[in-house]
Amino acid sequence: MTPLAFAVWTVDALMNLAAPGEPRISPDGRDCAYVLRGEVLTQPLQGGRAKSVGKGSRPRWSPDSKRLAFLRDGKIAVVGAAPASLPGPVSAFEWMPDGAGFAAIVNDPRPAADPEVANRDYRPARLWIAPAAGAPRAVSAAGRHVVSFAVSPEGRRAVYAAQPTPRARDSFHVDLYSVDVASGVEIALVTQQGRDAEPSFSPDGKWIAFHSQAGSLNYFEARHVGIFPVTGGSPRYLTANSALDVFRGGNAFGWRPDSRSIAFTAGRGVTDVLARFDIESGRETILAESVSGAASFANDGETAVFLKSSPERPVEVFALVGGQERRLTDSAAAIATLPKPKSEVVRWKSSDGVGVEGVLWLPPDWQPGRRVPVLTELHGGPTGVAAHAFPMPRTYPTQMFLDAGAAVFAPNFRGSANYSARFRMRNAQSQGVGDFADVMTGIDALAERGIADPDRLGVMGWSYGGYLGASVITQTHRFKAASVGAPATDWITYYGQSEGPREVLWTYFGGKPWEVPENYRKHSPRARLHQIRTPTLLQVGGLDINHNAEIFQALTDSGVEVEYVVYPREGHGIREPAHVRDLLERNFRWFAQKLALPAKPQL
């Protein structure tokens, strides 16, 4: 990969950062496919150059490892062959076990209703079988929206996960069904409360593993990897006694050939790991550290490919062969001339004694005893997590801040994933209170260590991080500048506007707004917006729920410096390259000016 022609981090350098994704190993363990900059590439595990096979995503090898298929423009493209024929856009697919055709989730091709009427005109996705010869056919029941599936090793049955409608608010109501692919006769397998999805058959066809909310509608509660006999029965949760957290992972599986153990990714603090669990004893073994996303296993159950992160270099594709890791890609070659970030994992006690952890990024030339401006970056969720992994920013230009002489502090406040259900539950009915204390005590700890300059602090965050950032600056004037992205300022209003699961806010506040209105009001910063004195940059997508307009008006009325930006055509995440560039540039300029950063990298 050609090195970028930069000596310091710039917006161009950040925009040119690219990392591979979606690694998939061939069943024979010889080759890997992955996606880089929207292109599907293949590469031998034993060495050799990567080869492009076309634009697309979701690469999948045939069972005999001789053919490769991937998604392109909603169709299943097969290298060297005609695309598979299906009646609508495909969102997910797998080869049939005999290699003769595909199973796929196919979206309803009808155009969206115009006008749209709430609770009507749903267009659910269904599970289809597309044989090599003959017409494709739907095998899942009409009226259910399929979100994931697996086909049994002999190809006669499929298990699929489905929710009542395609609406995101139904995503906590996902059940598992088994269907005979020839007759269409189906039975319900798991119909408990919560989401039960991402099924996977064991190689001997006797077990089904899946990711589960374990019968709970509580958003913060533990998620588990469940397992049950294919003949039916109550699930058993392999992770019930594990310290590993599968709130974010545990949804893609690699079985050993004897069907006695299963591997998946799980969270542990500021890193994720690849772990194997024995299905009888529950004994767990860590196979790899600092994993990013799901791993893909060959038929031997030992050889695998996965993404691996580190604080010093971008995500790379790694192979696990004979228990040894081998790097396949070299994304870091493109940034060889750029400054390497310094970082450490920091830990402190919050005001109520709860232990909190986070990641501190330091200027490349920082030396102990030198105080620097500190920008606190608040992650979303609140069940996101700040990982100890190379920053790949698309909103807040971490490396540019570091080059300019500031530190970036990313706290994993209560509610974060990777720290257990108990730690997440500490955020319930504590939004803007307990997490506020976690953030502020973390900054205090950095000041006590002689790192943070208490007179040059900034805070920034998007989504829940935007909510928490807005809440923070209504409660303290310690920050010289803030950047608030896509926040909620009033939770009752948000309850009516959001398309997300209602159960999330029920967990936050202990019920519906009409049942516990005081809880929703207590944790909403709307009534305190007039108390803000911090110069604030406001950013939001034009198609997103927009509460920034309220903050803008409140600060305008109060005579507080404010800059309010709306990005047309954008939703909750900003995607258009010109808008991403503006986010990076605008946030850098804002904080560089307000915190008088000592160095001024080029934009």
195 pLDDT tier (thresholds 50, 70, 90): very high
Q: What is the DSSP letter of 37?
A: T
pLDDT at position 231: 85
Confidence of residue 598 (pLDDT cuts 50, 70, 90): confident
CB atoms within 10 A of CB 77: 20
pLDDT in tens, 428-444: 999 999 999 999 999 99
Report the C-alpha gap between 199 and 288 in whole angstroms.
23
Give residue for tokens 């039960």. 196
Q: What is the mean pLDDT of residues 495-510?
A: 94
Q: Tens digits of per-residue pLDDT, 214-242?
A: 999 999 999 999 999 998 888 999 999 99
Please measure the distance between the N-terminal and C-terminal CA atoms of the chain and give it in whole angstroms.
23
Distance CA 335, CA 2 (A): 9
Give a yes or no: residue 143 inside a domain. Answer: no
Q: Is the CA virtual torsion 387, 393, 397, 400 positive or negative? A: positive
Question: Cβ distance 124 to 161 under 8 Å?
Answer: no
Helices and strands (DSSP H and E) totals, the chain:
10, 35
Instruction: Tell me if 227 sits within 8 A of 190, measured CB to CB.
Output: no
The pLDDT value recorded for residue 132 is: 85
Assigned domain for 51 exists: no
pLDDT value at position 398? 97
Question: Cβ(394)–Cβ(583) under 8 Å?
Answer: yes
The pLDDT tens digits of the residues spanning 323-355 come to 999 999 998 888 888 998 899 999 999 999 999
Residue 515 pLDDT more than 90? yes
- The string of pLDDT tens digits covering residues 527-563 is 999 999 999 999 999 999 999 999 999 999 999 999 9
Burial 102-120 (b: 16+ CB within 10 A, else e): bbbbbbbeeeeeeeeeeee
Cis geometry, peptide bond prior to residue 517 (ω within 30 degrees of 0): no
Residue 378 belongs to some domain of the structure: yes
Counting beta carbons within 10 angstroms of the beta carbon of residue 187, is it exposed (0 to 12), middle (13 to 18) or buried (19 or more)? exposed
pLDDT band at 602 (very low <50, low <70, confident <90, very high): low
What CATH number should be reported for the domain holding residue 418? 3.40.50.1820
Computed over every residue of the chain, the mean pLDDT equals: 94
Compute the Cα dihedral for 385, 433, 170, 117 and give only its sign: negative
Domain enclosing residue 562, as ranges = 347-489+524-594
pLDDT of residue 118: 87
pLDDT at 192: 94
pLDDT value of position 126: 97
Query: What is the rounded average pLDDT of the residues 445-450?
Result: 97
Residue 124 and residue 108 in contact, taking contact as beta carbons nearer than 8 Å: yes
Predicted local confidence at residue 111, as pLDDT: 84
Q: Closest by alpha carbon to 383, among 351, 343, 426?
A: 426
Q: Give the chain's radius of gyration (CA, Å).
A: 25
DSSP state, 85? P
Beta bridge partners of 51: 42
**What confidence score (pLDDT) does residue 571 get?**
96
Residue 419 covered by a domain: yes
- Which amino acid, 137? R
Question: Where are the extended beta strands (E) located within 62-205?
Answer: 68-72, 75-78, 90-95, 101-106, 126-131, 137-138, 145-151, 157-163, 173-180, 186-190, 194-201
166 sits in which H/E element: none
pLDDT for 112: 80
Residue 1 confidence (pLDDT) above 60: no
Query: For the chain, what percentages of helix, strand and coil (3-state, to nearest 5) are there?
Result: 20, 35, 50
Torsional sign, CA 557, 562, 563, 568 = negative
CA distances from 215 to 174, 212, 420, 512 (A): 11, 8, 17, 20
Total number of domains constituting the chain: 1
DSSP letter string, 167-211: -GGGTTEEEEEEEETTT--EEEEE--SEEEEEEEE-TTSSEEEEE
- Is the per-residue pLDDT at 162 higher than 80? yes
Report pLDDT for 113.
81
Given its phi and psi angles, is residue 559 left (phi above 0), alpha (psi -120 to 50 degrees) or beta? left
pLDDT for 175 = 97
Q: Does 369 fall in a domain?
A: yes
Which among 441, 431, 514 has a CA at the least distance from the CA of 469?
431
460, 466, 467, 471: CA torsion to nearest 10: 20
Q: Give me the percent of the chain exceeding a pLDDT of 70.
A: 98
Position 601 confidence tier, pLDDT thresholds 50, 70, 90: low
Q: Please report the pLDDT score of residue 412 as a whole number.
A: 98
Backbone angles phi, psi at 499, to 5 degrees: -95, 0
Report the C-alpha gap between 518 and 523 in whole angstroms. 9
**d(Cα 413, Cα 434) in Å, to the nearest integer?**
8
Q: What angle do CA 395, 398, 399 make, to 5 degrees?
A: 130
Q: Which two tokens stand for residue 412?
A: 């994993």
Give me the mean pLDDT over the 24-50 stretch: 95
Query: Does residue 557 sit within a domain?
Result: yes
**d(C-alpha 504, C-alpha 381), whole Å:** 10
Query: In this structure, which amino acid lies at residue 470?
Result: A
pLDDT of residue 245: 96
Q: Is 471 inside any structural domain? A: yes
Tokens 């799901």 sit on residue? 294
Task: Give residue 6's pLDDT.
Answer: 56
Q: What mean pLDDT is predicted for residues 289-303?
A: 95
pLDDT tier for residue 600 given thresholds of 50, 70 and 90: low
pLDDT score, position 332: 83
Q: How far is the C-alpha of 219 from the C-alpha of 97, rounded, in Å?
A: 36
More confident: 121 or 426: 426
Length of the chain in terms of residues written: 603
